[in-house]
Amino acid sequence: MDATTLDIEPLDGCGAMVRGCDVRRATDGEIDRLRQAIFDRGVIFLEDQQLTPEDQIAFARRIAPIVVNRYFPKTERYPEIAKVEKSEAQTTNIGGGWHTDHSYDQAPAMGSVLLAVETPPTGGDTLFADMYAAYEALPEATKQTLLRLKAHHASAHVFGENSAYARTDRPELSGHKDTPEAVHPVIITHPGSGKRALYVNPAFTTGIVGWSREESLALLSELYAHAIKPQFVRRFQWRPGSMAIWDNRCTWHCAMNDYQGHRRLMHRITLDGVPLAA
Ligand code: SIN
């Protein structure tokens, strides 16, 4: 397969579908095109990728360096691969609210490579929202206000002692002592596309720097409602061998939890990022 067979089709809402690509055999030129498509479209989807864990790790490393997530359970032999799993009996899933990964880090994760291993007969889709488009659609005066603001991001309320997961049937995801916090611009310029994106998210953003909690919540809740308008959202339906590679700097994602009584297992590799600037 050479670069001419690889087809990247932009999708409505968010993302692009890639056809004609077996990532195990991708040329360096194809890897560059995939990386740029991730930067430009926010997320790319591929089907029928028959990958061993070694294949997934080798492919991910060609896109960007790998960073190991602090909180998720790892696959037995591969610390680079986190298990995003929900068993038949569990009721809480991982990533079941809108978020972007690792925004609590000083240099937030660039992205994630998620491979479907076991999927439920129906349900278990993932929603992706385009933060470039969400930014672009804001009124000009709001853009000018947001361009001057920074926001706090934290992890303790999700993964620390007595965190949200502690009150669910997934307490293993809580109780962590390593709970970083960071401050980032509310509007970032994406380092790989040069485009502006809205960079706050419902899971990890805890407030606007210099604003009271009430003032922060009023602004953030308005931005959150705006960012998930249907025109910015793409829903992806998985089957074993489906793969999504998303960019955390310009998308949000949300894993649907609508398949109670069935198992869903995904292998996730997180890609390292850089500090973000306005
Ligand atoms: C995640 O937030 O990384 C999980 C996404 C999913 O399981 O679809």
User: CB of 99 within 8 A of CB of 254?
Assistant: yes
pLDDT for position 24: 97
Q: pTM value?
A: 0.96
pLDDT, average across residues 250-267 = 98
Task: For residue 99, indicate whether it is catalytic.
Answer: yes
The full set of domain ranges for the chain reads 3-271
Nearest C-alpha neighbor of 227 from the set 133, 162, 104, 89: 133
Q: Is the dihedral of CA 73, 49, 64, 108 positive or negative?
A: negative
Catalytic residue of the set 33, 35, 41, 99 = 99
Quote the tokens at residue 125. Answer: 């889709």
Quote the DSSP letter at residue 90: -
Mutate to test the pocket of ligand 1, among 69, 92, 93, 94 (most ligand atoms within 8 A of CB): 94
Quote the DSSP letter at residue 92: P
Query: Nearest C-alpha to atom 2 of ligand 1 is from which residue?
Result: 95
Q: What is the pLDDT of residues 14-47, one digit of tens each?
A: 999 999 999 999 999 999 999 999 999 999 999 9
pLDDT for position 116: 98
Q: What is the pLDDT of residues 237-249, one digit of tens each?
A: 999 999 999 999 9
Vertex 67 angle, CA 63 and 72, to 5°: 120
What is the distance between the alpha carbons of residues 68 and 82, in angstroms, rounded to a whole number? Answer: 8
Centre of ligand 1 from the C-alpha of residue 123, in Å: 13
Catalytic residue of the set 33, 253, 264, 267 = 253
pLDDT, average across residues 181-186 = 98
pLDDT for position 73: 85
**Which CA distances in Å does 88 have to 92, 140, 166, 277?**
11, 48, 20, 42
Q: What is the pLDDT of residues 56-84, one digit of tens each?
A: 999 999 999 999 989 998 998 999 999 99
Q: Is the domain covering 3-271 a CATH 3.60.130.10 domain? A: yes
Q: Report the nearest atom of ligand 1 relative to the CA of 94.
A: 4
What is the distance between the alpha carbons of residues 110 and 26, in angstroms, rounded to a whole number? Answer: 21
The answer, yes or no, to whether residue 3 has pLDDT greater than 50, is no
Identity of residue 9: E
Helix (H, G, I), strand (E, B) or coil at 244: strand
User: CB of 54 within 8 A of CB of 80?
Assistant: no
Q: What is the pLDDT of residues 96-137, one digit of tens each?
A: 999 999 999 999 999 999 999 999 999 999 999 999 999 999
Q: What is the pLDDT of residues 201-231, one digit of tens each?
A: 999 999 999 999 999 999 999 999 999 999 9
